[in-house]
Structure 1
């Protein structure tokens, strides 16, 4: 107040006017902020999830809205894929499930809960894309819709095969097989050596008597002393 009194006449009047209008301005600002909070709505989905091919994955979808539900409140959960305006793949009101996801969707949600989980079973490579949850509400003012803007990107990785043998086992098997193939067979070099010895012995047996006979005849025919 001292500051206002110290101001000159015209400026003092302006200051008083601003001082009197200040509560009204603050009230309007508060109402504006409250209005923004009341109109706030959406669906919270994780930005990114990763699953293994053949396994399963869960997408949580808590949602919130400012409207008052009708006396007979009704909610419908729908799902789209690929992009924000993509094809519908699930509709809780009609029980519709896209043929690509037949027998692979489980919706864990009960009306009038404002959160739930979508579970996708037996993941396939083509399941790798974006998913968007959409909620339809019956309110006292009519039908309202809430949908995730960013959606959830699902990535699918291949399962690692556990049926392959380790290199040590494979090498051992090959080595064992090689030993089994040659087991009970004689070494080829030994077989060849035996054959050669046999030929030499046979030749010696045949030639020796001839040499003995020649030596005997030579001895008989030599001149006597």
Structure 2
């Protein structure tokens, strides 16, 4: 049932003008209050990070709020992966760690700090996705919860392998090269011995016929018995 109020001409027009102005002011005040409430609590993360497969990577984060905290703010840091509503992979309050990240997640943060670092160890190819930090804390008015909207995209690259030759292989190559360079060269002592042997043989060949001739002449000229 509507309440009808009758005003004379100009007064009625003035009433509607004031009514519309008051309605606009109320809507604007409501929107401003809602905007301020959203902007007083948030989480900051880098948009993109890159790591090497098998190595580690650090995801820094920070958060802010304007409301006064209770004596026990019950701060909790949670992490999700893949998408904004993805699976939780870490919970600082319960100590929960996703099976895929067992013994590979380390959170460097303690209450009441408003910043910290999540470290992922032993990076795997499957770790290449988006990670979202979620913060929960208790103020004197509310139990607040907020999460990064865009998160941090992690890119995983393959490690570059460098092939180094074994020193023994290099030494063998050098040794073989030395042998190839010297295989046609003779030992000087062996050369000298061969030369001396040749001279002795040649001398024996020349002297032997002379001695044979002398012995023959001596035997021929000896007195007969």
TM-score range, shorter chain: 0.5 to 0.7
Tell me if 1:62 matches 2:62. yes
Aligned partner of residue 62 in structure 1, secondary structure: strand
User: Which residue in 1 is equivalent to 2:77?
Assistant: 77
Unaligned runs of 5+ in 1: 1-17, 187-225
User: Which residue in 2 is equivalent to 1:215?
Assistant: none
Give, in whole Å, the separation in 2 of the partners of 1:149 and 1:108.
22
In the superposition, relative to structure 1, how do residues 126 and 31 fare at CA in structure 2: closer, same or farther (>3 Å)? closer
User: Which residue in 2 is equivalent to 1:37?
Assistant: 36
Give, in whole Å, the separation in 2 of the partners of 1:31 and 1:89.
37
Contact 1:39-1:66 at 8 Å conserved across structures: no
Aligned partner of residue 70 in structure 1, secondary structure: coil
Q: CA RMSD in A?
A: 3.7
**Superposition map of 1:76-225 within 5 A:** 76-165=76-165
Give, in whole Å, the separation in 2 of the partners of 1:74 and 1:162.
49
Give, in whole Å, the separation in 2 of the partners of 1:88 and 1:32.
32
Q: How high is the TM-score relative to the length of structure 1?
A: 0.59
Shift of 1:93: 0.5
Give, in whole Å, the separation in 2 of the partners of 1:131 and 1:35.
27
In the superposition, relative to structure 1, how do residues 86 and 177 fare at CA in structure 2: closer, same or farther (>3 Å)? farther
Give, in whole Å, the separation in 1 of the partners of 2:148 and 2:96.
20
In the alignment of these two chains, the number of paired residues is: 173
Shift of 1:158: 0.9
In the superposition, relative to structure 1, how do residues 82 and 39 fare at CA in structure 2: closer, same or farther (>3 Å)? closer
1:153-204 deviation digits (Å, cap 9, x = unpaired): 10011111123449xx9x9889769769989999xxxxxxxxxxxxxxxxxx
Unaligned runs of 5+ in 2: 1-16, 185-225
